[in-house]
Amino acid sequence: MGRSHRHSPTDERDHDHNGHSNGHHGHGHHGHGHHHNQAPPRGGHSGAFAIAVLLNSGFVVVEVAASFISGSTALLADAGHNLGDVLSLLLAWGASVLAARPAGPGYTYGLKRSSILAAIANAALLWVALGAVLLETVQRLWQPGEVNGGQVMLVAGAGIAVNLLSALLFAKGSKSDLNLRAAFMHLMADAVVSASVVFAGLAIVLTGQNWIDPVTSLIITVGLAWGSWDLLKDAVKMGLLAVPRHIDEGAVRQFLAEQSGVEAVHDLHIWGMSTTESALTAHLVMPSGSGNDAFLRGLAGELEHRFGIHHATIQIERDRAACSLADGHVH
């Protein structure tokens, strides 16, 4: 079979000693192309992740303590949100480190899918925390206690500063790295949540109505539950090898079918290798046998450019009847 590979800089260093300096090599007979179009390893932001994790972890402790001192469940809900931040940052950090580790025996794709498992655990733990906050909030709705609005404003204001500072650490890298962009957007959203707590504290100071605090807490908790449910659902879908949401399977199939010399496409599979990388395998029936290495390299490049598919494995067949998988699967 003929294969051609396109590697990231790390991949090329790993393969140079085997004579793959140009990212391409061939095997016995034609018909099988396997391409890697990987983004560069994302291990260069460990400092930013470490600072953001320390800042947010420390603030979670301060905010939980302040919520009990001031009697504010809104602060407790915000602390739960910030705890979710810490988990999300650790997830993104771990994913950036694991994505840079090369594949090895027993783990031919490396440890990329560990980020999906971490995402499921992240969402589940966040729901446990939200359940505890919701229980306290409901109790406060029935029996509102005294809330120190000034303290709530002070602590929530500090939360805005912590989240904005943490977000700035990822602002530059977020333009080119989806992992960093997710961390940046999450932290900016947290700053908005903290701002809502500040306004709740101000409303309590101005009106003296303590019920504003548990109502604000309830709104934040419901919003976070809604968002984390979406995260959990997406993570489970990725765990079940669903087509990533940003990829249109029909459009990919049509693109492959429209390639010069392609008579049919079958056994098309698209799945997420991790939370940031996707893969594809497909069989192309090309009676003319024109699917050479240059065709495969160009096709892989277009799949990455148009659809964000980083790993494409294409099998070229001259006679679809020769493939046992083709029966009932040709499109």
Question: Do 60 and 163 have their domain in common?
Answer: yes
pLDDT higher than 90, residue 313? yes
Q: What is the pLDDT of residue 284?
A: 93
Estimate to the nearest angstrom the gap between the alpha carbon of 46 and the chain centroid: 17
The Cα–Cα gap between 180 and 250 comes to 29
Q: Do 256 and 284 meet the contact criterion of CB atoms below 8 Å apart? A: yes
User: Does 41 or 315 have the greater pLDDT score?
Assistant: 315
327 assigned to some structural domain: no
Res. 36: pLDDT tops 60: no
As a whole number of angstroms, the distance between CA 184 and CA 82 comes to 13
Query: What does the pLDDT read at residue 225?
Result: 78
Quick check: is 328 in a domain? no
Residue 48 pLDDT > 90:
no
Any domain includes 31: yes
Q: How confident is the model at residue 177 (pLDDT cuts 50, 70, 90)?
A: low
Q: Which of 132-136, 182-186, 216-220, 255-259 tops mean pLDDT?
A: 255-259
Q: Cα dist. 227→57, 130, 182, 230 in Å?
A: 21, 12, 13, 5
Give yes or no: residues 175 and 289 share one domain: no
Mean residue pLDDT of the chain comes to 77
The answer to whether 201 touches 153, Cβ cutoff 8 Å, is: yes
CATH assignment at residue 116: 1.20.1510.10
Q: What is the pLDDT of residue 14?
A: 41
pLDDT attached to residue 174: 62
Domain boundary among 206, 239, 272: 239
pLDDT digits (tens, 9 = 90+) for 235-248: 788 888 899 888 99
Identify the pLDDT of residue 93. Answer: 83
**Based on the domain organization, do 165 and 219 belong to the same domain?**
yes
**CB neighbour list of residue 143: distance below 8 Å, 6 or more residues apart:** none
Q: Domain range spanning residue 269? A: 9-41+244-322
Average pLDDT of span 197-224: 84
**Are residues 29 and 81 both part of a single domain?**
no
- Segment of 87-96, 175-184, 264-273 carrying the highest mean pLDDT: 264-273
Asked if the model's pLDDT at residue 7 lies above 50, the reply is no
Q: Are residues 170 and 268 in the same domain?
A: no
Residues 61 and 140 in one domain: yes
Does 30 fall in a domain? yes
Statement to judge: residues 181 and 260 lie in one domain:
no
pLDDT above 70: residue 44:
no
Query: CA-to-CA distance for 72 and 210, rounded, in angstroms?
Result: 9
**Does any domain span residue 4?**
no
Q: Is residue 70 part of a domain?
A: yes
Do 73 and 125 lie in one domain? The reply is yes
pLDDT at 38 exceeding the cut of 50: no
Written as six digits, the tokens of 73 are 């469940």
Total tally of structural domains belonging to the chain: 2
| Residue at which a domain ends, from 239, 261, 287 | 239
Residues 36 and 66 in one domain: no
Question: What pLDDT, on a 0 to 100 scale, did the predictor assign at position 4?
Answer: 39
Residue with the bigger pLDDT between 10 and 159: it is 159
Of the candidates 39, 288, 48, the one whose C-alpha atom is nearest the C-alpha of residue 167 is 48
- The lowest-confidence range among 6-20, 67-81, 163-177 is 6-20
Backbone angles phi, psi at 294, to 5 degrees: -65, -40
Domain ends where: 239, 254, 286?
Answer: 239
Average the pLDDT over each of 7-11, 103-107, 259-263, 291-295 and give the range with the smallest value: 7-11
62-68: average pLDDT: 90
Select the more confidently predicted residue: 25 or 258.
258
Q: In which band, very low, low, confident or very high, does the pLDDT at 29 lie, cut at 50, 70 and 90?
A: very low
Q: Tell me, yes or no, whether 123 and 97 share the same domain.
A: yes
Q: Kindly report the CATH number assigned to the domain that includes residue 22.
A: 3.30.70.1350
- Please list the alpha-helical segments (H only) found in 258-327: 293-307
CA pair distance 329, 207, nearest whole angstrom: 68
The tens digit of pLDDT for each residue in 127-143 reads 777 777 777 778 777 77
Strand order in the sheet with 264-272: 32-36, 311-317, 278-285, 264-272
Looking at the fold, whether 53 and 115 belong to one and the same domain comes out as yes
